Amino acid sequence: MTQPSHSATWTNWSGALTCTPSRVIMAEDETAIADAITHASHDGATPIRVPGTGHSFTPIVITDGSLINIDRHAGIIDTDAATGRVRVKAGTKIADLGAPLLEAGLALANQGDINKQSIAGAVSTGTHGTGVTLGSVSSQVVGLKLVTAGGDVIEANADENRDVFDAGRVSIGALGVLSELTLQCVPAYTLSEMTGRMKAEAMFEQLDTLVRDNRHFEFFWFPFADDVLIKTLNITDEPARPARSAGSDFEDRVMTFCCELSRVFPFLRGPLQRFLTRNSGAEMLGAREFTGKAKIRHAYQAFPSERNVRFNEMEYAVPIEHGPDCVREIADHMRKNGGNFLFPLEYRTIKGDDMWLSPFYGRDSVTISLHQYARQPYRRLFDGAEAIFRAYGGRPHWGKLHTLTARELAPLYPRWDDFQAVRKRLDPEGVFLTPYLARLFGEDAY
């Protein structure tokens, strides 16, 4: 079923991107998606994009053509407990998967620290969590259904339409509209979360061990602070405990106040970063020995964090062996040339994969993320960092800010030409190709 179309201004989560498409269509099922594509193409209301929840910072949604909203095309279709395979509608929010999967005795193997995205959006941009033995959300996809520019529905998996499968699991919405995904889940599990502070130099000395010995490891580093904040998640046999209020509203107010204070008085950025590190609630660790009480929660409850202070973000994936050197250079740039910023660096690990446009194609990787408060300019901070990322062979997150175009991107992806061939075959008229995507894929993409 398709709801009547209308025009409305769309804005992404950070507030930095807006567009006013000629029509917005609410598509409630796969047939409605196909009809919306067919009618928009016939009427010239292209390019066509799917907005998801707007958590991308690059203009991959921006269009003056049509937005197809699939929020109502959501829910689990069926679950096979024996194989762990679960079919879901593409508009399903990650946050809405956890409880029903647990009831079926299943869970996602890994996920990111934001769970408000649609599963299709997370897959299309290569969204990930952390864990050197674990892949991205896209790596958990074992089958997909895609509605093409002609309104046809293609099913793809490892045995059928393999090229569409390899291209479609990370495709930035350039092949068509995902309508259904089959996820390979794992038996439900419980995670023990520990957080702490370490001296930065001590942490770097032990970094390989920390990454190896924990299922999930990440650290946050305010560059003007001597300490880093570390977080680990590990599977435990202990029963999940009801989560107590983490005081996130208070923490958000404190962070917002500090961001505003730093914005108005830039000379306070260093003292404020040290204050936020010391008052994070994480204990100081000696030889990385945790003594505080762990949070024990079901996996889907342990992964996400509330992110209510708005920001813009850049993230690159670099080969795992270059991660420590790269993040040190980034931190040095931020201190010397980064301008006025307050958010910490974020450092995560991810297993390599075989998806053609995945930032992790063919190599285990470290992702390094920079955030800038939404009310402050980010170009000075991000431009200098991007030059460092590129020197280490970094690949950008498709949903996070970068300046690369086809000329710089093609050498980074060994299967770039193969992806282009599939894209041009499925969308020969550029129905899904916005001006921004045309720059990503080359001027001859139209």
Q: Is the pLDDT of residue 287 over 60?
A: no
Give the mean pLDDT of 17-23: 97
Q: Mind listing the pLDDT tens digit for each residue in 296-312?
A: 999 999 999 988 999 99
Instruction: Count the neighbouring beta carbons within 10 Å of the beta carbon of residue 383.
Output: 15
Give the mean pLDDT of 251-272: 94
What's the pLDDT band for 242 if we cut at 50, 70, 90? confident
Q: Mind listing the pLDDT tens digit for each residue in 52-75?
A: 999 999 999 999 999 999 999 999
Structural domains for the chain = 76-188 (3.30.465.10), 190-396 (3.40.462.10)
What's the pLDDT band for 3 if we cut at 50, 70, 90? low
CB 66 within 8 A of CB 27: no
Lowest mean pLDDT among 2-16, 39-53, 276-290, 402-416: 276-290
Q: Mind listing the pLDDT tens digit for each residue in 405-427?
A: 999 999 999 999 999 999 999 99
Cα–Cα distance measured from residue 188 to residue 108, given in angstroms and rounded to the nearest whole number: 8
Give the mean pLDDT of 232-238: 97
Q: What is the pLDDT of residue 338?
A: 86
Q: What is the pLDDT of residue 284?
A: 66
Q: Mind listing the pLDDT tens digit for each residue in 222-232?
A: 999 999 999 99
Total-model pTM: 0.95
3-class DSSP state of 322: helix
Q: What is the pLDDT of residue 445?
A: 46
Please indicate whether residue 89 or residue 281 has the higher confidence score (pLDDT). Answer: 89
R_g (Cα) of the chain, nearest Å:
22
Q: What is the pLDDT of residue 2?
A: 54
Q: What is the pLDDT of residue 104?
A: 97
> What percent of the chain is modeled with pLDDT above 70?
94
Distance of CA 253 to the CA centre of its chain: 25
> What percent of the chain is modeled with pLDDT above 90?
90
Q: Is the pLDDT of residue 289 over 90?
A: no
Read off the tokens for 194.
């520990």
What's the pLDDT band for 181 if we cut at 50, 70, 90? very high
Q: What is the pLDDT of residue 333?
A: 97
Q: Which of 11, 10, 9, 15 is nearest to 312 (CA)?
A: 15
Q: Which of 256, 377, 375 is nearest to 307 (CA)?
A: 256
Distance of CA 428 to the CA centre of its chain: 28
Q: Mind listing the pLDDT tens digit for each residue in 88-136?
A: 999 999 999 999 999 999 999 999 999 999 999 999 999 999 999 999 9
Cα–Cα distance measured from residue 240 to residue 304, given in angstroms and rounded to the nearest whole number: 16
